[in-house]
């Protein structure tokens, strides 16, 4: 197997080095031939490299989109007079986006761990204050 590999390496070297040596020895056309050889070699190497098959997919949504969702759900969550089902759906969506924004800001939170109740309400208030400091939520009205 090693002998076969040596033969292949020698054949590749002979196919690339020998034309370069001949182009260098031919006089005035040496520059043109060596450039042509280099271009052909680069093209051959580029064709032999595998192209990526999968598209690059971002791991997170853009921060602009998260900020827009956060502001929209913030106003809808803090608006009163909703029925329980609508309030609960809005709370779940707001908590998810709030947790996503906190992750993007690098802040720890317990929004996805705590169940509904006073502890979750306190954690939500704490995360809102942190995100206000980061500029992701509008400041409180005076």
Mean pLDDT of 118-138: 88
Q: Angle at the Cα of 19 (from 18 to 20), degrees rounded to 5?
A: 90
The ranges assigned to domains in the chain are: 2-48, 63-133
- Residue 114 pLDDT greater than 90, yes or no: no
Q: Structure tokens of 68?
A: 């827009």
Token couple for 56: 């690059």
What's the whole-model pTM score? 0.58
CA-to-CA distance for 74 and 69, rounded, in angstroms? Answer: 8
Q: What is the pLDDT of residues 34-56, one digit of tens each?
A: 667 777 877 877 777 676 677 77
Query: 3-state class of 82 per DSSP?
Result: coil
pLDDT, one tens digit per residue, over 12-35 is 777 766 666 666 666 544 455 566
Q: How high is the mean pLDDT of the chain?
A: 80
Model confidence pLDDT, tens digit, residues 63-95: 889 888 888 888 888 888 889 888 889 889 999
């Amino acid at each position: 197997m090693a002998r076969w590999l040596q033969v292949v390496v020698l054949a590749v070297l002979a196919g690339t080095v020998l034309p370069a040596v001949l182009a260098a020895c031919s006089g005035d056309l040496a520059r043109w031939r060596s450039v042509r050889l280099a271009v052909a070699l680069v093209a051959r190497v580029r064709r032999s490299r595998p192209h990526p098959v999968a598209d690059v997919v971002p791991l997170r949504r853009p921060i602009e989109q998260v900020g827009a969702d956060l502001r929209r759900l913030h106003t809808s969550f803090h608006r009163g007079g909703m029925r329980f089902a609508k309030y609960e759906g809005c709370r779940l969506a707001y908590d998810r986006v709030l947790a996503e924004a906190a992750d993007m800001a690098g802040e720890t939170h317990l929004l996805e761990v705590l169940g509904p109740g006073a502890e979750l309400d306190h954690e939500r208030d704490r995360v809102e204050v942190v995100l206000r400091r980061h500029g992701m939520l509008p400041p409180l009205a005076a």
